[in-house]
Chains A and B, each alone.
Chain A
Amino acid sequence: MSGILSNTGMHAIIWKAFTQTLYMVFWSTFFSVIIGFIPAIILTLTAPDGLKPNKIVYEILSFIVNVFRSFPFIILLVILIPFTRMVVGKSIGTTASIVPLTVSAIPYIARVFETSLRETNPGVIEAARSFGASNFQILMRVYVKESIPRMLNGIVLLVISLVGYSAMAGTVGGGGVGDIAIRYGYQQYKTDYLIVCSIILIIFVQLIQMLGNHMYKKMS
Chain B
Amino acid sequence: MIRIDSVKKTFGKTEVLKDISIDIEDGEIFGIIGQSGAGKSTLLRCINGLESYDGGLITVNKNPVHIDDKKNLRRIQKKMGMIFQGFNLLERLDVYQNVALPMKFWGIPTNTPEAKEKILKLISLVGLEEKVHAKPRELSGGQKQRVAIARALVLNPEILLCDEATSALDPEITKGILALLQKINKEMGITIVVVTHQMEVVKQICQRVAFLSQGKVLAVGKPEQLFVWPKEREIRDFLREESDKLPSTGVNLKLFFFGEGNQRPIVTQMSQELHTDFNICWAKLEDFREDVYGSLVLNMDEKDLERACAFLDSKDVTWEVIPR
A132 to B80 Cα, complex, angstroms: 10
- Interface residue from A130, A134, A141 paired with B50 (Cβ < 8 Å): A130
Pick the residue among B78, B84, B155 that contacts A127 (CB under 8 A): B84
B105 touches A148 (CB 8 A): no
Chain A contacts for B86, CB-based, 8 A: 121, 123
| CB contact under 8 A between A132 and B106, given known A127-B82, A141-B101 | yes
**Stretch from B2-10, B87-95, B126-134, B288-296 contacting the other chain:** B87-95
The answer to whether B48 and A130 touch across the interface, beta carbons within 8 angstroms, is: yes
Secondary structure call for the A interface: helix
Per-residue interface assignment for chain A, residues 105 to 135, with 1 indicating a CB less than 8 Å from any chain B CB and 0 otherwise: 0000000000000000101101111111110
B104 at interface by CB-CB < 8 Å: yes
Contact for B90 among A130, A142, A149, CB less than 8 A? A142
Contact residues in A for B75 (Cβ distance below 8 Å): 132
Max count, chain B CB within 10 A of own CB: residue among A132, A141, A145, A146: A132
Contact B155 A124 (CB under 8 A): no
Range, interface on chain A: 20 to 34
Closest CB in chain B relative to A130 CB, distance in Å: 4
A161: Cβ under 8 A from any B Cβ = no
Assess A146 versus B78: contact at CB under 8 Å? Given A128-B105, A130-B50, A133-B105: no
In the complex, A145 Cα to B75 Cα: how many Å?
25
How many residues on the B side are at the interface (Cβ–Cβ under 8 A)? 28
Given A130-B77, A130-B82, A132-B74, A146 contacting B91 (CB threshold 8 A): yes
Complex Cα spacing A134 to B74, Å:
9
Name the residue of chain B whose CB is nearest to the CB of A148. B92
| Known contacts A126-B88, A131-B155, A146-B91: A141-B74 contact under CB 8 Å | no
B106 touches A146 (CB 8 A): no
Q: Which residues of B contact A126 (CB under 8 A)?
A: 50, 84, 88
Q: Which of B42-96 contact A (CB under 8 A)?
A: 48, 50, 73-75, 77-78, 80-82, 84, 86-93
Docked CA distance A220–B137 (Å): 10
Q: Which residue on A lies nearest to B93, using beta carbons? A: A145
**Contacting residue for A137 out of B81, B88, B105, B148, CB 8 A:** B105
Given A121-B88, A133-B105, 6 more A-B residue pairs with CB atoms under 8 Å apart are A126-B50, A132-B105, A133-B102, A137-B104, A141-B101, A141-B105
Residues of B within 8 A of A (CB): 48, 50, 73-75, 77-78, 80-82, 84, 86-93, 101-102, 104-106, 148, 151, 155, 161
